[in-house]
């Protein structure tokens, strides 16, 4: 098992749970706007699912190629930061009723591409599993 992946998965999952709790309790006290709540919920869901993906990369690391596993991890981390992070920021800007920075509209889809890349790399790592006899 890859201790770095498992450690990062645990930290990112804990942050996702805390973000989800805030969304369920704190954010709903700040706004009733369904668009804001949905954006935040999407950020939390993708954040949590990809924390689980980090856990998978850690658990499966001994069986696949180290480089594929490393880049899958980096892609998932980048995806969480770019995709979920930009949606968290967008939620903040909407709550403050300020316009988000223009670059943010490019960061979210870039994060989605990182997620896709991470899954492809993890799949390739599966394909390279060492068979035991």
Q: What is the pLDDT of residues 85-133, one digit of tens each?
A: 999 999 999 898 887 778 888 999 999 999 999 999 999 988 877 666 5
**How high is the pLDDT of residue 28?**
83
For the entire predicted model, the pTM comes to 0.90
Q: To 10 degrees, what angle do helices 66-79 and 104-127 make?
A: 160
107 is a domain residue: yes
In total, how many domains does the chain have?
1
Kindly state the tokens that stand for 11: 């930290």
Residue of 36, 122, 38, 37 whose CA lies nearest to 79: 122
User: Could you tell me if residue 45 is inside a domain?
Assistant: yes
pLDDT of residue 18: 96
Taking a C-beta distance cutoff of 8 angstroms, is the pair 54, 5 a contact? yes
Residue 132 is assigned to a structural domain of this protein = no
**Residue 100: inside a domain:** yes
Query: What gap in Å lies between CA 42 and CA 56, rounded to an integer?
Result: 21
Any domain includes 79: yes
pLDDT in tens, 1-56: 678 889 999 999 999 999 999 998 888 888 888 999 999 999 999 999 999 999 99
Its domain, for residue 58, covers 3-127
Position 128 scores a pLDDT of 79
Q: What is the pLDDT of residue 46?
A: 98
Q: Tell whether the model's pLDDT for residue 80 goes beyond 80.
A: yes
Measured between alpha carbons, how far is residue 61 from residues 8, 57, 119, 125 in Å? 14, 6, 14, 8
Burial (0-12, 13-18, 19+ Cβ within 10 Å), 4: middle
User: Domain for residue 133, yes or no?
Assistant: no
| Model pLDDT, residue 131 | 66
Inside any domain, residue 61: yes
**Domain-embedded: residue 29:** yes
């Amino acid at each position: 098992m890859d201790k770095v992946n498992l450690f990062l998965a645990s930290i990112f999952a804990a942050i996702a749970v805390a973000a989800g709790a805030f969304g369920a309790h704190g954010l709903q006290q700040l706004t009733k706007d369904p668009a804001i709540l949905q954006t935040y919920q999407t950020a939390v869901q993708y954040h949590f699912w990809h924390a689980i993906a980090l856990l998978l990369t850690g658990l499966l690391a001994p069986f696949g190629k180290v480089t594929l596993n490393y880049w899958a991890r980096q892609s998932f981390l980048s995806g969480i930061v770019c995709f979920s992070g930009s949606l968290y920021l967008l939620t903040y800007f909407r709550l403050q009723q300020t316009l988000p920075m223009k670059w943010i509209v490019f960061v979210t889809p870039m994060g989605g591409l990182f997620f896709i890349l991470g899954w492809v790399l993890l799949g390739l790592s599966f394909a390279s599993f060492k068979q035991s006899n």
